[in-house]
Structure 1
Amino acid sequence: MTTNDTLGGLRLDGQTTVLGIIGDPIAQVKAPLPLTRLLQARGINAVLVPLHVHGNGVAALLSALHAVHNVEGIVVTVPHKQRVAGLSIELMPSARQAQAVNVLRRTSGGWQGDLLDGAGFVAGLARNSFHVKGRSVGMAGAGGAGSAIGLALAAAGAASIHVHDVDAAKCAELVERLRALGHAAGRWDAASPRDLVVNATPMGMKPGDALPFALSAIQAGQTVAEVIMEPATTPLLLEAQARGARIVHGRHMMNEQLEAMADFFFGEAQP
């Protein structure tokens, strides 16, 4: 290939900047093609490629990738968001508050991490005509995505946020973090209905997964939202539809983050 060659309309050559997306598993990720297209539409010769990394390999990978000079940044997905935040990297305010990271960019001496999940999730809800202010929330998941989403929902004016997680310590930590910021929060028994019900866990990615919470939490007229992107319509969303609830697919969170990711890695697009 020459430096003028394209692949399916996308540029890929020796001058291409590489971004990676790390996760375990990784087959479900949807961001590589749309983010690559967005970047190249901005005139940026860059691609996003999936990297399947187990948890015990994350630190070594980040150290090694810093030595690859055309690797500019990393997108972090499940289950590595909290693990990465615990490494020796510079955390921006959102990542520091949630103790989770979903984007990393190269600095002169290491990596700088931010967290875009929460803002992307709230924007995805708004695009689907659900506005958070004054609404009650029940959420399964207090990991990296759950922490980001819980904090963003609180900042957007949710009346209350109740959290369920199989890890009682993580659940308690998120509840206390929300309360310390002055928000109404507590443990959710996953049976009490709320205006908005959120699955911020990986439950539903694999065939045969249990539902993330009891079906008694879902009623007609509620909104049920996912973070999972594959399958597009999870068993939870199918059950919610059958019960007359409105559903918001996981892809909306990613779609709302793409512009923010491009800005994070390469600066804001010029008008």
Structure 2
Amino acid sequence: MRAVLIGFRGTGKTEVGRLLAHINDVPFFDTDRMIEESAEKTIYEIFAEQGEEEFRRKERRVIASLPEGDAVIATGGGAILDPGNVRKLREGSTVFLLQADEAAIERRIRDTRRPSLTRLPLRDEIHELLAVRRDAYLSAADFCIDTTIKNANEVSLEIHRVLSGGAVSWKRRERGMEVIRASGIGHEDIGEIEKVLMGEGTDTLTRVYAIMGYPCTHSKSPQLFNRLFSRYRVNAFYTRLQDPEIGTVVRVAGDIDLRGASVTIPFKQAIIPSLDHLDRDADAIGAVNTVVYCGGKSYGSNTDWLGIRGPLAEYRKARAVVLGAGGAAAAAVYALQDLEMEVTVLNRTPGRAEELSARFGCAHAPLSAFEALDPGVVVNATPVGMTPDHHSPLRPGQLKSGMVIFDLVYTPPETPLIRMARNAGARVIQGPEMFVRQAAAQFRRFTGIQVPPAEIKEMME
């Protein structure tokens, strides 16, 4: 048993950690205490004399030195802001995020001698830092425990129960499996998820992730994410949740205690009403492709726009056209506007193009206006060209040298549009580039671990 406790100061990590280590008869490591012992100074003195940067350097060194094997580890509140720390802490461990409301945190730390990280009053500092750290906390955790109205003994016993038998009952797991068995996914997929959830000797601490869609049997995400989990020693498994009704998918997610999900067609908008929190990017785009579940709450975000923005970063302020008016098109417009591009939305149905452009304050036009616009950047955000479709949203004569053509379709990688663009001498960016970058961002949302896009690309080849 190896458990790591993360969270803001005042959530009870040290006291809970000591009790949990005692219950399980394993060593206890407090990284803040280890820093103080090695520096022969208090954390307050380190901050006052050497600054936060030096403290973080000492923190990285201490975390890197943690021995392997059974233990309970309590970390400092900002430790998980460093991806290297997260990677080390997650290896072979189950990570628990201890949470509490702002009033409880203020009450618990008001009289402690710890350095201020801002010049704000204590309550305002807590609010600001929690907002900054929330995504990092949620990403790095396997389970979330609210300590607001619980004492350290109650919290340690709750964690012990999760460590002993997981967070949901066998009855709920079986109810979820009944739907999965009838969902139309392959026998191999069903066998693998059944083994993880219900098999003999099941590890109830294995966290489950999935692609949500209808259909989603074609998705490459399970293969990719399971390889990533294995490479980074994260105790997790990725599968498929498929049903025509989003309500059914969400219920199954709860029954099997899903930790996170990639969301694809047709649920990127439909899932939003079921979420407790929506980040700024997803709210602006109006679509969600990533969901994290923790502590009975659901958090939606969008990494598609990051997958579009990355390959186009060098073309800032170009004149751009987005083909399509759905969720992918919204992510594309958001990404291009972030690069200060002049964007026009073209769609076969003018009304939908007008609606999307109104949301973002950009231009719209019918597809017939393409040549007159003379764009430097073209993003295909329609499904035209996706297997088994063999068409292109544009004609060969509309493409020319000097254009940048980015086709978001990634199955197949070489779409009819990409072939035509190559023949016209245009620069092409294929769909897998977007998939790779958004997957890297998504994996960090799921685990807190930062993976270079090139590594994901190599895994897919």
Larger Rg over CA atoms: 2
Aligned to 2:324: 141
Distance 1:23 1:223, change over 3 A: same
Verify: 1:119 aligned to 2:306, yes or no.
Answer: yes
Q: Distance in 1 between matches of 2:249 and 2:283?
A: 22
**Distance apart, 1:20 and its partner CA:** 0.5
Please tell me whether residue 32 in structure 1 is matched to residue 222 in structure 2: yes
Secondary structure in 1 aligned to 2:386?
Answer: coil
Residue in 2 that maps onto 1:156: 339
Instruction: Find the aligned partners of 1:32 and 1:96 in 2 and give their Cα distance.
Output: 26
1:234 aligned partner: 415
Q: Give the Cα–Cα distance (whole angstroms) in 1 for the partners of residues 214 and 395 of structure 2.
A: 26
Deviations along 1:87-107, one digit per CA (max 9) or x if unpaired, are 454211111111100001113
SS across alignment from 2:367: coil
The residue that corresponds to 2:252 in the other structure is 64
Q: For the residues of structure 2 that align with 1:51 and 1:176, how far apart are their CA atoms?
A: 34
Aligned to 1:178: 360
Quickly say closer, same or farther: Cα 1:62–1:232, change in 2 above 3 A: same
Q: Structure 1's 257 and 104: CA in aligned 2 closer, same or farther, altered over 3 A?
A: same
**1:16 is aligned to 2:206:** yes
**Counterpart for residue 232 of structure 2:** 42
Aligned-partner residue type, residue 260 of structure 1: A
Which consecutive residues of structure 2, in runs of 5 or more, have no partner in the other structure? 1-91, 93-195, 197-201, 452-461
1:269 is displaced (CA, Å) by 4.9
| CA distance in structure 1 between the partners assigned to 2:336 and 2:305 by the alignment | 7
Query: 1:199·1:225 contact (CA, 8 Å) conserved in 2?
Result: yes
Compute the displacement of 1:37 (Å). 2.2
Q: CA deviation at 1:66?
A: 1.2
Q: 1:89 to 1:209 in 2, by over 3 A?
A: farther
Q: For the residues of structure 1 that align with 2:399 and 2:268, how far apart are their CA atoms?
A: 28
1:53 deviation in Å?
A: 3.0
Report if the CA contact (8 A) 2:304-2:328 is conserved: yes
Which residue matches 2:439? 258
2:347 to 165, 175, 181: 165
1:198 pairs with 366, 369, 379, which one? 379
Superposed displacement of residue 112, structure 1 = 1.3
Deviations 1:173-217 (A, max 9, x none): 2211221xxxx5332535323111111111111334542234443
Q: Specify every segment of 5 or more residues in structure 1 that has no aligned partner in the other structure, as ranges.
A: 5-11
Instruction: Measure the CA separation in 1 of the matches of 2:350 and 2:254.
Output: 36
Q: Deviations over 1:233-254 (max 9, x none)?
A: 1111111112221111111111
8 Å Cα contact 1:120/1:256 also seen in 2: yes
Aligned length: 248
Report how far residue 45 of structure 1 moved: 1.4
AA at the equivalent of 2:380: N
Residues 66, 110 of structure 1: 8 Å contact kept = no
Alpha-carbon separation, structure 2, partners of 1:98 and 1:217: 29
Do the aligned residues in 2 keep the contact of 1:29 with 1:229 (CA within 8 Å)?
no
Aligned to 2:283: 96
Residues 178 and 157 of structure 1, relative CA distance in 2, 3 Å threshold: same
Contact 1:195/1:222, CA 8 A, preserved across alignment? yes
Give TM-score scaled by structure 1 length. Answer: 0.82
Identical-pair percentage = 27
Write 1 or 2 for the structure with the bigger share of strand. 1
Alpha-carbon contact 2:385-2:417 (below 8 Å) kept: yes
Give the conservation status (yes or no) of the 8 Å contact 2:332–2:379: no
Q: Over residues 136-172 of structure 1, what are the superposed CA-to-partner deviations in whole Å (9 max), with x where a residue is unaligned?
A: 11111121111011111101121x1111223434321
Report if the CA contact (8 A) 2:399-2:421 is conserved. Answer: yes
Against the structure 1 CA distance between its residues 178 and 114, is the aligned structure 2 distance closer, same or farther, given a 3 Å change threshold?
same
Answer yes or no: is the 8 Å Cα contact 1:86–1:99 preserved in 2.
Answer: no
Q: Distance in 2 between matches of 1:43 and 1:125?
A: 33
